Amino acid sequence: MIKTLLIVVPIFVAAHLRAQPATDTTRKSPIPTLTYEQYHAFLKGEAGEDMARVAEMNHYPLPEKVLKYKYELDLSPIQVKKLTEAANYLHRRRLQIGGSIIDTEHNLDSMFRYNKVQDGNLIFYTNRYGLYQGELKNAFLQACLSTHNLLSQQQMARFESLEKRK
């Protein structure tokens, strides 16, 4: 059942995706518990990159970072295809989970704002929020794992030297 919830972008978020212009730091977030920047990062599928830190620190890079150096690393067409698929899957998951996080924040805000907080629904939504955070971290770490497994030791060493130069 939880997997089904993650696949559909919540209606509240879908409406805001159509209505919101590009990120504007002078505007307020429609969700008071998120900054405007956080809100738009979730909507665009750009939030959470810090969740890959444990993998990246241990030589498991994100696929989109490796793809920036596809010529320098002499990636094969199969490697490029699989890295692109991993990057696209991660982006889709970031969009899905980000929408769910926004929806959950909206529900929590509404419960407190309208004094409708009950023990049961508070437990439900906070546990749900934790689930989404775990799903997002897993999506990042799975992408890093698949990226690491696609690269040779020489490509990995070259990638790390290229990253150090930037």
Render each residue's pLDDT in the chain as its tens digit; 166 residues: 333 333 334 444 444 444 455 545 568 999 999 999 999 999 999 999 899 999 999 999 999 999 999 999 999 999 999 999 999 999 999 999 999 999 999 999 999 999 999 999 999 999 999 999 999 999 999 999 999 999 999 999 999 999 999 7
Distance CA 144, CA 138 (A): 10
Distance CA 101, CA 99 (A): 5
Distance CA 131, CA 108 (A): 15
Give pLDDT, residue 27.
83
